[in-house]
Amino acid sequence: MAAGLIGTSHQSPSPIPRHTPDRFAAKVGEKSGAKRVGLFGGTFAPPHLAHLIIAQEAIQRMALDKVLFLPALVPPHKRGIPISAFGIRMRMVQAAIEKNASFEISDIESRLPSPSYTIDTLMVLTKRHPDWGSIFLILGSDSLLDLGSWKNPDAILGLATVVVYPRAGFPVEDARRTLLDQVELLDVREIPMSSTYLRGRVRRGLGLRYWVPDRVADMIKEAGLYLDTDQSEVKTEQASFGSQPSSPLC
């Protein structure tokens, strides 16, 4: 793993790496039968269709066996900001992914010492799952721009292949070239959808049909989520998935 994560390069930029399953499989050279697992961390408040599209695209384009959703408690960049309780976000993600056998969910972020960081989560998961041959950390381009300031970024890059999808307002090309050379770009279209926007829709009295799975929309309505900023379900749980913004599409 290259050591110059924080440095800059004065060389002419080379094309950003993009992968098809065939090209990627040829590069990895992993053990026969070893699982290829994607990790998708985030606040998921609420989980929406773009989350599901990104996860499915990662499975298809990176030839993954499954994607494990990892709801965070309260990411450090959102401390002090009202966030719906971990339990209901877990239930919403479960409802969102229930029809896809390649999607799974873990509550590991609620079980690690606080604060928990991406590198800590990766180390625990690799020890618990020796059958995982390759781990792919799925991040938005907004998180990529901050990756150099996370806890032990070089160790993260050593344990997992970072797979980046585009987010509006955060061009992948803005990341340091030395970092771009160590990640893989998920070749998908930018999806103009975010949990922040959806919470705003609810506060304005607008529906979420076709933005989130039907069961998730029902849960939001039944629990009265996102109607104002002083929600009864808000908790002050302290934990994270990463030391800087690492919550995709949220």
Give the relative orientation of helices 21-28 and 49-61 as an angle to the nearest 10 degrees. Answer: 60
Report pLDDT for 229: 56
Among candidate residues 34, 76, 5, 45, the one with its CA nearest the CA of residue 250 = 45
Sign of CA dihedral 64, 198, 46, 147: positive
Confidence class of residue 177 from pLDDT cuts 50, 70 and 90? confident
Task: Among 40-44, 148-152, 227-231, 244-248, name the one with the lowest average pLDDT.
Answer: 244-248
Average of per-residue pLDDT values in the chain: 81
Report pLDDT for 80: 53
Burial class of residue 97 (count of CB atoms within 10 Å of its CB; 0-12, 13-18, 19+): buried
Q: Which residue has the tokens 């298809």?
A: 60
Report pLDDT for 74: 66
pTM: 0.80
Report pLDDT for 7: 30
**Residue ranges of domains in the chain, CATH in brackets:** 34-223 (3.40.50.620)
Q: What is the mean pLDDT of residues 218-231?
A: 84
Per-residue pLDDT at 51 exceeds 60: yes
Q: Which residue has the tokens 């705003």?
A: 200
Per-residue pLDDT at 224 exceeds 50: yes
Report pLDDT for 23: 41
Give, in order, the Cα–Cα distances in Å from 108 to each of 63, 120, 195, 212.
24, 11, 22, 24
Per-residue pLDDT tens digits for 84-131: 899 999 999 999 999 999 999 999 999 988 777 899 999 999 999 999
Per-residue pLDDT tens digits for 4-47: 222 333 343 444 445 444 444 433 445 556 899 999 999 999 99
Report pLDDT for 45: 95
Q: Are 74 and 217 in contact (CB under 8 A)?
A: no
